[in-house]
Structure 1
Amino acid sequence: MADPTTNTLHPLTDATLTVRVIKSFTYRTERSVVLHHVDLTTTTVAGLKRAVLDVVATQSGWKPYRTVKFDTLKLYTKAHGNKTQNLIINLDHDDWIFEDDDAILQTLGLENESEVSFFNRELYEEFKKNPEVKWD
């Protein structure tokens, strides 16, 4: 019998999420926030946004990110899932964008060790039209 994967070792009420906070798509400027003990059965999209925005607003090292209006979350990958070629966001699967702030994270398919991108929707749409990276 195979060992369980790490995403199934924690209950949905005690998940760890990595949120990629994207300042610039063009320059691939992002920092990650790792949130522990997230209850995916009760936390909403709005609640996840608030938790990350609190980190950005209060923790040191985030000052350059405080000028961006972060408003959109999108699933990047689930644990042990395929990753995209783009290093900070998947440009396909716009159906993975979390449109409803009242949606519960579990109902959106999040599980332990999922990765989510957090960004400004207007900048994302602009980058999708011309996905040129200026810094490699």
Structure 2
Amino acid sequence: MSAEFDPLTSTLRPATDAIITLRVIKSFEYRTERNLILKDIDLTKTTVGELLDLAKKDIMTQGAFRALRNVEYDTLKLYTKAHGSKTTNLIINLDNDDWILSDHSKTLQQCGIENETEISLFNRELYEAYKLNPIEKW
């Protein structure tokens, strides 16, 4: 079957029932992160602030995130959209600070978020410090 007839997986679900992956980043230097998969997200109604609150609640209640609870998560930034190119930095996209979702009143759809989008969740102060000296430790 030709590619023109194969729909992209990101378009198979409606914007009212999307799946989003949040990359919860504890440490940039040690590349410590865990993915939080959020299902049934209505991109047309869910705001950036609501997504942030939902993520914080899940981090505090899901056992898999126990080791990541000592960070104050306050910032969301687009990492990649489905079928899009990824950055060479494995932990976060250091370019395009305009991809930071800073207006907490906008809906996810207004921010260009689609089904299967990956978004980084992190502490802004730690991010800014890492940008000044992006060295990875082991």
> Shorter-chain TM-score: which interval?
over 0.9
Aligned equivalent of 1:113: 116
Counterparts of 1:69 and 1:51, CA distance in 2: 14
Aligned equivalent of 2:12: 9
Pair 1:66-2:84 in alignment: no
Deviation of 1:55 (Å)? 1.1
Unaligned segments of structure 1, at least 5 residues: none
Deviation of 1:66 (Å)? 1.2
Secondary structure of 1:106's counterpart equals coil
Q: State how 1:1-40 maps to structure 2 within 5 Å.
A: 1-40=4-43
Aligned equivalent of 2:60: 57
The size of the alignment, in residue pairs, is: 135
Amino acid at match of 2:19: T
Counterparts of 1:107 and 1:3, CA distance in 2: 26
Unaligned segments of structure 2, at least 5 residues: none
**Aligned Cα RMSD in Å?**
0.7
Runs of 4+ in structure 1 deviating by more than 2 angstroms, as ranges, are: none
Pair 1:95-2:98 in alignment: yes
Counterparts of 2:35 and 2:29, CA distance in 1: 17
**Deviation by residue 1:59-113 (Cα, 9 ceiling, x = unmatched):** 1122221110000000000000000001121000000000111110001100000
Give me the identity figure in percent: 58
Deviates more, 1:55-64 or 1:97-106: 55-64
Counterparts of 1:59 and 1:90, CA distance in 2: 26
Give me the TM-score of the superposition, normalised by structure 2.
0.96
Deviation of 1:2 (Å)? 2.6
Aligned equivalent of 1:132: 135
